[in-house]
Chain A
Amino acid sequence: DSGVTQTPKHLITATGQRVTLRCSPRSGDLSVYWYQQSLDQGLQFLIQYYNGEERAKGNILERFSAQQFPDLHSELNLSSLELGDSALYFCASSRDTNTEAFFGQGTRLTVV
């Protein structure tokens, strides 16, 4: 157990809908990262937060947004969902921005 908690584990929703994925980082970790992994694909970096502030942005669609709250948990919001958004979404956390990251078990999103 990495100490990073993601909910829900599975999510099935229809095209055009909006969902929110939640991540609780390891105790003491200030940095949170979001990644997308489609079937048999590599990890695609979406966005990083550090102590509540956006620190880096990757290939994140405009339909997607995220935030990190004062208690350091983070949420990834996905809207106007398309079939191609079906993927595993991973959250990771690290103590600082130059330390190793620990991953949660992911949320499997299926858009039908």
Chain B
Amino acid sequence: QKEVEQDPGPLSVPEGAIVSLNCTYSNSAFQYFMWYRQYSRKGPELLMYTYSSGNKEDGRFTAQVDKSSKYISLFIRDSQPSDSATYLCAMILNTGGFKTIFGAGTRLFVKA
């Protein structure tokens, strides 16, 4: 079992839809959680960084962390064709030292 599980998709939605992207993890030592967006052949771009359970909002993006269920989500409201990209979750594990683990990424297509 991978430490971080993320459905690779692809996920296809119509423009304006609410998108829900998810990752699960197995180790309760994960303490910090991030979402990145990666356009084809470009560097991943940090969207959200959080370390506590609950919701964090930034514009059309909301990151949700549920540490009791070991589950994180990224919601995108009013999705646009420009949101079409691969979304990667990442988590930082604290086991005496810190280690960042990335999910495999979910490919999202938003159709106009």
Contact = CB atoms under 8 A, between A and B. Distances in A.
A25 interface: no
A43 B94 contact: no
Contact of B98 (A42, A97, A104): A97
Contact of B44 (A56, A90, A97, A98): A90
Contacts of B36: 103
B43 A101 contact: no
Contacts of A106: 41-43
Contacts of A102: 46
Q: Among B43, B94, B99, which residue has the most Cβ atoms of chain A within 10 A?
A: B43
Size band of the interface chain A makes with B: 20 to 34
Interface in A9-65: 33, 42-43, 45, 55-56
Given A42-B104, A43-B102, A98 B43 contact: no
B12 interface: no
Nearest to A6: B43
B41 A42 contact: no
Interface of B: 31-32, 34, 36, 41-46, 49, 88, 90, 92, 94, 97-100, 102-105
Task: Enumerate the 4 nearest inter-chain pairs by beta-carbon distance, A residue then B residue, closest first.
Answer: A103-B43, A97-B98, A100-B49, A98-B98
